[in-house]
Each structure stands twice: as structure tokens, then as C-alpha cells.
Structure 1
């Protein structure tokens, strides 16, 4: 039953058009217009106006999703910059990827998070710094160090030695990266409140490739089709470093929010719906609306495209007080 719902949701994303909210009934359907742009991802002046109109249409949903500590202007500036790159993505997947990113309080600036395009689907990808941010928010982690060891670097690792003497990395910073050689290992560790240091997570290139091959559906699909445009193809070192941080997240005190981010990231790698794993996802209602959108799209297959009116599942605005209470409640639970 779950797989059937997911299949229908993907079908709805592909075939159903985004609804026009009554409060913005004159706004242009920006994702649809962006999808008509061929051969360029640059932002033209006219395009810039329609992007902002689209953001204005869903401003209430984003305001409700964003945690109070996130700077709104920084978030919307980052979204405005990346929307043209998602020109060929379905409106539903674009909105859900951005809302998922907002719910975790991460800015899609390619440092904390990325919204990537997989075919016609927009996918939320939390990066290493995004996981680090959520570790800090848990209140149990004082600092996190993520690094890479190059072939010419001096380092030693003795797992049986007491910390911090078990791991040493001494890069020669007077040399360029090219002079230091290729990256051979990535690592991550954390200092906890109280002075203890976590386990050191070390991954070789072979380890990273094994993680990619086992868990990334997008990489496997690209490989099968002879493409080299998956995120693991184009951002291998970033994903290698992120894999270290993800494993580190499992050996430090984890908040409910960090657990949810891991599940959401897993869903994205597996090609599944991500917004349902985000904090306060309203699973039942979203699935019900997705089901309705799928049926509406199926019933409209033989009709002209301008008559398709399947609804897009989006989070309804709620009073800020109630949403804040729900988020405070979520922080009390740890795994």
C-alpha cells in the first residue's frame, strides 16, 4: 500500500499542475513558465519578476515552516537564486523540496543544503554543514571538525590509544592542495559539552564509493543510462565529507530533529518522498491530498493540458503560536 501511494504521488508530481491560491489568483505559475525555458539557466529580468511572484504566492507556507532563528531574507535570497536552475522540475517537487529545506531551518546555499535536479524532480540534499548545524542545535555538541587527508600529509591513527592522542593530522599548509596530492581519507569528530571527544570517523575513497553504490538511487540510475550528472558524479568530495558527518551524527547525542534529517536524506537518496519525514509533516493529510491529485491527474490525461487542475499537497498556514508549541514539544524528545 505504501509503495502504491508513493507511486501515485510521483505520478501526481509529474502530471498535476500546481494550484493557484485564492489570495494570489493573479500570480503567474512560475515553475511552469520556467519549464519552457530551453538552453539557459540564467535569470532574465522578466524571469526574476515571476520568480518573486511565485515566492510571494507561497510566502505563508514558508513563513510557517521556517524556524524563528532563521533569517528570512537570507533564505529567500538563496531560493530566488536557485529557482531558475530547477526550470525543468515539476512544480510539486520544487515546492516540497524547498518546504522540506525550510522545515529544517537550512539555507539552500550549497554549503548548508542543496536543491538538486534529478530528471524532472527537485530533491533536497542536506550538506555536511547542515548536519553540523543541527548537531550544534542539540546543545550537546561544543564543536565539530571535518577534514580531508591528502597523500602528502602527515597523519597517524591508533584506535586503541586514548583520545585525543589516537588521531593526529599535520598538513603542510605552506603547500598547495595540488602539491599535497589527492584526497585519500576524509574524517570528522566532535568535542562534546563537558570536554569529552567523540569517536573519530574516517572514510576512505573506497568506503565512500561503497556508500554511494548501496544507497544512491540517483547514481545507479545515471550509471545505468550512461550519464555522469548525478550529485555523486558532480560533487563527489562534498558527498564523501558529508558521509563522514552522517556517521558522526550516529555517535554523538542525537536530537529528534537530527534523526529526522537523517531519515529525510535517506529518502532523497532512495528516490522517495522527503517532506513526509520532515518535522511536523502532517503525513496523513499530505498523503490524502497526493492521492486526490493523482486521481485528478489520471482522470485528466485525455483532456487538454490547460484543464488539468490536480491540487498540489502543501502545508496549510496555522497560527504561529500553535506551530511554535509543536516545535518546542518536538525538541523535548531525544533518541
Structure 2
């Protein structure tokens, strides 16, 4: 079934679950009806239509059912759209490939770093991905100017407890089809914390309400590693599916509906490029525009000496 048709079906079904809420899942003042999460079973056909052919709907639903009780207080439309968004990428919401979390009564789909790696493999452009965390006491060396294969080395101290050692940085790189290797993406702990503090609304909200229950609170090493994987995604050839996943997670960060980016990745990509172009245009208003070189056409003008000689004749 076409993605545009799926988009229309999701909008219609979301309205059926909560007639007063559209797909934008605007927050309402009243509490969401308890137990609505189990209504997702009604959308089994829509979930199966969204899933890639190689992913079993039975496996997906089995992983989803234990998650639903945690989404009871979420707005119904957001539960539907997050589940179908997850299915669109063929990632299982089991905490390994993907998670669906409650963020201020909005159900939100997020891929784990394993999910990102899975989509890199599916693209057929990436042969293997190497990722890890470096702790104090590990043996490592990074020389960006050295020959590939000798520029980065990590030998973890397998016998030392990670609980007693500070984390230093996360890294990731990929070997591509054809034998080339990407640059090494490195994210220090300080960089990860800066990205978390600036861009994660879930972290900011969990800090403000004192619950400290966001993924950055409960699974910091995984989120740190994911940050390195997302940085790697900018360094390797990207499939349309991987570009769509990046846009879907950006939509969550900006408070926009994820499903609209997921079911129509080409439109989402064009909209993202238009937004970036608009921001660039606004930023350039105060910058003087340099004159462009003008390319003359036709025969070049004769040199002055030749013109003077012609006059004397």
C-alpha cells in the first residue's frame, strides 16, 4: 500500500481513537482515558501495512504489548502515530532497536543506536559498523592524519569494572562497500552533555519536574553512543530511509508530529531543506553580497595598442 494512503489512514484512525484530537496530538487539559493503549490492537492491519515485508507483525506486536501500559496516560493519537512510525522503519520496539516512551503525555518513537546501525546495514552501502565507549584505564590512540587502520586504536580493559572508571568518549566508524572506511566520529562526555542540555526536551522536562526519568537519565551510555552513531550518519552514504529517520527524530525534538515525516520521507526531506534554506537566507541578510564575476561572451576586445595602430591607418 502506498505511503500517502497510509498517511491518510493514520490520520483517520487517530481521529477515530480521539475525536477531539487531530494528528497534531495537541495537549488537552483533561486526563487521557485509561487503558486506551490496548486499542492499538485495532490497528494491526495498519501496522502490518507499514512494516517492511521482512518484519513479522506478530513479532512486532509481541514486543509492543509490554510497552503499552507505560503509555496509558499518553494522548491516544500520539500512541497510534508513534507505533506506526516505529513500524514504518521496521524496527522492533523492544528497547534494543527502538523505544516508545511517554514524554509529557506524548508517546514518542526513538531509535536506539542499534536501530541506526540496522538501517545503515539495510541501505546496502555500509558493510560493517564499529562503535564503542572508551573508559579511563583503556588503551587508546587517535591520530587523524595517520593511515586508515592506524589512525584509531582502542583496547578496552576487559577485567576492570566500568562502574569505577569515568567514561571518556564514544566513537563510531564504518567500513563501506568497496573497501573504503569512513572518518571516525568521536563524541566526548562533555559534548554529549552539551547536546543533551540544548536539544533534549525530554531531559529538560525531567530535570524541571524532578522525575529524572528521561533516557538521558536512565540510559546515558546508550544515548552517548547513539550521539556518536548519529554523527557517523553524516559521514557515510545515507539511504532515503536513514534520512527519514533523522528527520523523524528531529521532529520529536522540535515538537512536530513524527508520523508525517515518517510516511512521506521525500516530502519531509524537501521541507527540511526548505527550512534550512530559509534560515540561511535570514542569516545572510546582514552580510554584504559580494559582486559576482561577469563572464563576457563573444570575441575579446583588441588590446589598446592595436586600436591605436588602426586609427593611424
> Shorter-chain TM-score: what band?
0.7 to 0.9
Pair 1:133 & 2:134 matched: no
The runs of 4+ residues in structure 1 deviating greater than 6 Å are 281-284
- Output the CA distance in 1 between the equivalents of 2:265 and 2:42: 20
Number of aligned pairs?
Answer: 248
Provide structure 2 residue ranges, at least 5 long, that are not aligned to the other structure: 1-20, 269-313
Which of these residues, 201, 204, 218, is aligned with residue 234 of structure 1? 218
Shift of 1:56: 3.6
**Matching residue within 128, 142, 153 for 1:168:** 153
Q: Of 72, 94, 99, which residue of structure 2 is paired with 1:109?
A: 94
- Specify which of 204, 210, 213 is matched with residue 220 of structure 1: 204
Offset of 1:125 from its aligned partner?
A: 0.8
CA distance in 1, matches of 2:35, 2:252: 23
Q: In 2, distance between residues paired with 1:13 and 1:188? A: 38
Q: Which residue of 2 aligns with 1:28?
A: none
SS of equivalent to 2:187: strand
Return the alpha-carbon distance in structure 2 between the equivalents of residues 270 and 217 of structure 1. Answer: 8
Q: Distance in 1 between matches of 2:29 and 2:132?
A: 43
- Higher Rg: 2
- Aligned-pair CA distance for 1:13: 5.7
Q: 1:263 aligns with which of 247, 250, 261?
A: 247
Label 1:11 to 1:114 Cα distance change in 2 as closer, same or farther (>3 A). Answer: closer
Structure 2 residue 16 is matched with structure 1 residue 32: no
Query: CA offset at residue 10 of structure 1?
Result: 4.7
Q: Deviations over 1:34-54 (max 9, x none)?
A: 27xxxxxxxxxxxxxx93xx3
CA distance in 1, matches of 2:223, 2:108: 15
Q: Does the aligned pair in 2 maintain the 1:141–1:190 contact within 8 Å?
A: yes
- TM-score relative to the length of structure 2: 0.73
Contact 1:218–1:270, Cα closer than 8 Å, also in 2? no
Q: Please report the RMSD computed on the Cα atoms of aligned residues, expressed in angstroms.
A: 2.5
Report SS of the residue matched to 1:33: coil
Q: 1:11 Cα deviation (Å)?
A: 5.7
Q: TM-score, normalised by structure 1?
A: 0.69
CA contact (8 A) 2:85 2:109 kept: yes
Distance 1:15 1:278 in 2: 28
- Matched residues in 1 for 2:99 and 2:181: separation? 29
Cα 1:100/1:80, change in 2 over 3 Å = same
- Greater RCO, CA 8 A, separation 6+: 1
